[in-house]
Chain A
Amino acid sequence: MAFIDYYQILGIDKTATPKVIKDAYRKLARKYHPDLNPNNQDAKANFQQINEANEVLSDPEKRKKYDQYGNDWQHANEFEQQKQQQAQSSRSQSGGFSGGQNAGDFSDFFESMFGGNAGGRSRQAKYRGEDYTTEIHLQLLEAYKTHKQTLTVNGRDIRITIPAGVENGQIIKIAGHGGPGTNGGPNGDLYITFSVANHSSFKRLGDNLFATIDLDIYTAVLGGEITVDTLNGKVKLKVKPETQNGTKVNLKGKGFPVYKNEGRFGDLQITYAIKVPTNLTDKQKALFEELRQTKV
């Protein structure tokens, strides 16, 4: 556990007045506060450091203790215990952030020096609990069907229903499953981000699927019937004579389920990739040559 220089974090001198500390803190908070940096984990980590530095330096007692022991902070508690036998100290209030998702986490250094609950403010206001975020990783086929899944968030098991059609990067909110509120305030919410991996032969865009199907030259020229795979089984397709390479065919309702719209599906678009035969026999070459001679 390394010593943390709170003055350096706030970019101030050791002689800084409370006003200088407050101004430095506010300036950095305006830069790194999670409210102003949505989905930015780096900013959140920075803000936690700034908040912790302010927590110590804006409180005269904590600042005194921090200044007094400095690098010897590891022995601070032993000295303090001796002192406490002589006198009781009271906790003072100072202005720091209270807000939902930000104030809770302190470094091991802080916990060791000031104790686990030292970050708490004595204001009796009701605060909404912290919002939690988590990720669920799914395969494309799992996202194709509505299913239930159990998540463990902060030690609690939560069983959720994942509707078919959920999209990669989509975020859903489970109200009231975040951190508990303080002083009777409401619980926070749980935000789940879905990461949908696709290792199938289909490409997905929203509710529509895309696939490229190899087509032999004979079927392309003369027409015929082929069987293609969809996520919902196989389907037979009629291929028109003289089908060109890159021809697209739209299979209505054979795509991905529409999110929270049961029974509705997007389309599957098939692109034909015509394959020219290789390793021809002499006879086949002769037949193609014959064809060439008939070319109009």
Chain B
Amino acid sequence: MKTKYLIAIDDFCANHHIDVSFISSLQKTGLIEITTIEESGFIEADQLLLLEKYVRFYYEMDINLEGIETVTYLLQKINSLQHEIGTLNNRLRLYESE
């Protein structure tokens, strides 16, 4: 069975000087998942990067939750388009002499 590394939301918020309600809002919009154990909230370690990014969006760039949702969707789209460009470039090499 794979070990899951969990980070207490309270610790995360204390470290980053942010409000716990922000994390709850992210959960409500489906941007992150929270695991509850004995009434305490945790996030999985592999979501940490994502969560820190959302913190920067909200607290440092002043982007609201709706904005974060939109940005996240568009970033996913950019990512998938960049991947597609990579694949197409590789395919193009089939028809180009090097």
Contact = CB atoms under 8 A, between A and B. Distances in A.
Interface of A: 26, 29-30, 33, 35-36, 38-39, 95-100, 123, 125-126, 128, 167-169, 186, 197-199, 203-206, 210
Contact of A205 (B15, B52, B94): B94
A97 B71 contact: no
Given A35-B56, A167-B90, 16 more contacts: A30-B63, A33-B61, A35-B53, A36-B75, A38-B75, A38-B79, A38-B82, A39-B82, A98-B56, A128-B48, A169-B86, A197-B98, A198-B98, A205-B91, A205-B94, A206-B90
Contact of A203 (B79, B89, B94): B94
Contacts of A199: 98
A32 B49 CA distance: 19
B11 to A, nearest CB: 9
Contacts of B17: 123, 125
B78 interface: yes
29 contacts: A26-B61, A26-B62, A30-B62, A33-B56, A35-B53, A35-B57, A36-B71, A38-B78, A38-B82, A39-B82, A96-B60, A97-B56, A98-B56, A99-B52, A99-B53, A99-B60, A100-B49, A100-B52, A123-B17, A125-B15, A125-B16, A126-B15, A128-B52, A168-B93, A169-B86, A169-B90, A198-B93, A203-B93, A210-B94
Nearest to B82: A39
Interface in B62-86: 62-63, 71, 75, 78-79, 82, 86
Q: What interface size band does chain B fall in?
A: 20 to 34
A199 B93 CA distance: 11
Contacts of A167: 90
B69 to A, nearest CB: 14
A193 B11 CA distance: 34
Given A35-B53, A39-B82, A98 B60 contact: yes
A30 B56 CA distance: 10
B23 to A, nearest CB: 15
Nearest to A186: B48
Nearest to A23: B62
Nearest to A170: B86
A208 B57 CA distance: 42
B60 A95 contact: yes
Contacts of A39: 82
A99 B79 CA distance: 20
Given A36-B75, A169-B86, A30 B94 contact: no
Nearest to A175: B46
Nearest to B71: A36
Contact of B61 (A29, A125, A168): A29
Contacts of A98: 56, 60
A26 B79 CA distance: 24
Nearest to B57: A35
